[in-house]
């Protein structure tokens, strides 16, 4: 029996596969060059198609629902957002041995955000808050409710209680587990989102923000988007901002203390499970140090 070359979603995915998929399903583009992008993601593999398009292929079954979801909803969201978002031009079907649906999108110019590319970080923080507020104002009727398709972003952080407590056990002696447990308990005891369900992006992170000249020019990767509690979209307050820029973001977003408590829980959960994985699998002190610093930022910002 021959092993499935795509069994882990990433192995076997290369430019040659993309060329074959395009030639068989979208022959009008068959003569365009296919090249890897400079910065690729984990949930999807992305290749540039000619000068103006990209091909995006999920790396696992869990990421497949995003293909149709983004194709359906991105045009709806784009009309009301202050910066461009991806445009899905076509959806491909499984083929050439590749087992998942995939998409062709418009290429988006810009570089991923990082503090060294932004002169006014507080101003940038306000632009992210403006994007989030605009997203929340969009009519959420019939939008996809938070669930498995977005890995339960938009639901109460208590969904991840078991993962978090296991990580705290693993990290005893590596972080202040007592303080972390207290912040986590506060997050899961906090009342759920009291307002109507709103749109959330689900992964407002530096790698999904494009900049040019230090300004926000686009927001990408809506695979985790949905309708529910917007707390998950506030995590960037700790992962990218600090001091004045964090306060500028907090003021501009304008959400209540309960939402911020849940957001703090979201940020802490992700940092804890990431650090636990690094510690358990000895992935290196540099990665561990980054996550320890993030956990300290979150704990020090707690009331």
Residue 218: the pLDDT is: 98
Residue 42: the pLDDT is: 80
**Cα–Cα dist 132/234, whole Å:** 9
Residue 6: the pLDDT is: 45
21: its two tokens: 């998929």
Q: What percent of the chain has pLDDT above 90?
A: 93
CB of 245 closer than 8 Å to CB of 150: no
Q: Assign residue 282 a region: left if phi > 0, alpha if psi is -120 to 50, beta otherwise?
A: left
Instruction: Delineate the domains of the chain, giving CATH numbers in brackets.
Output: 15-106 (3.30.200.20), 111-300 (3.90.1200.10)
182: its two tokens: 């207290």
What's the pTM? Answer: 0.93
Residue 259: the pLDDT is: 98
**Cα–Cα dist 113/207, whole Å:** 6
Residue 5: the pLDDT is: 44
Phi, psi of 55 (to 5 degrees): -115, 130
pLDDT digits (tens, 9 = 90+) for 138-163: 999 999 999 999 999 999 999 999 99
pLDDT digits (tens, 9 = 90+) for 53-63: 999 999 999 99
Average pLDDT, the chain: 94
Residue ranges in the chain whose pLDDT is less than 70: 1-11
50: its two tokens: 């000619």
């Amino acid at each position: 029996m021959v092993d499935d070359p795509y069994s882990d979603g990433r192995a076997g995915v290369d430019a040659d596969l993309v060329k074959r998929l395009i030639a068989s399903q979208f022959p009008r583009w068959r003569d365009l060059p296919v090249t890897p992008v400079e910065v690729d993601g984990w949930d999807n593999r992305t290749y540039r198609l000619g000068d103006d398009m990209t091909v995006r292929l999920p790396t696992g079954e869990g990421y497949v629902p995003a293909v149709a979801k983004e194709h359906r909803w991105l045009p709806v969201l784009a009309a009301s957002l202050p910066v461009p978002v991806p445009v899905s031009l076509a959806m491909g079907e499984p083929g050439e041995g590749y087992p998942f649906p995939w998409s062709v999108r418009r290429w988006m110019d810009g570089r991923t955000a990082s503090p060294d590319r932004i002169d006014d970080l507080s101003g940038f923080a306000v632009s992210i808050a403006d994007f989030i507020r605009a997203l929340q104002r969009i009519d959420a009727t019939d939008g996809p409710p938070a669930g498995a398709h977005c890995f339960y972003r938009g639901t109460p952080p208590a969904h991840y209680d078991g993962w978090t407590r296991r990580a705290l056990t693993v990290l005893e002696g590596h972080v202040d587990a007592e303080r972390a447990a207290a912040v986590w308990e506060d997050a899961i005891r906090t009342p759920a989102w009291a307002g109507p369900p709103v749109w959330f992006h689900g992964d407002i992170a530096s790698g999904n923000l494009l900049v040019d000249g230090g300004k926000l020019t686009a927001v990408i990767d809506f695979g985790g988007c949905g309708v529910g509690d917007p707390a998950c979209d506030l995590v960037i307050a700790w992962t990218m901002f600090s001091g004045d820029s964090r306060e500028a973001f907090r003021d501009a977003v304008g959400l209540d203390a309960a939402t911020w408590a849940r957001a703090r829980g979201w940020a802490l959960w992700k940092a804890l499970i990431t650090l636990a994985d690094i510690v358990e699998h000895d992935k290196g002190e540099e990665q561990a140090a980054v996550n320890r610093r993030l956990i300290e930022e979150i704990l020090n910002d707690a009331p």
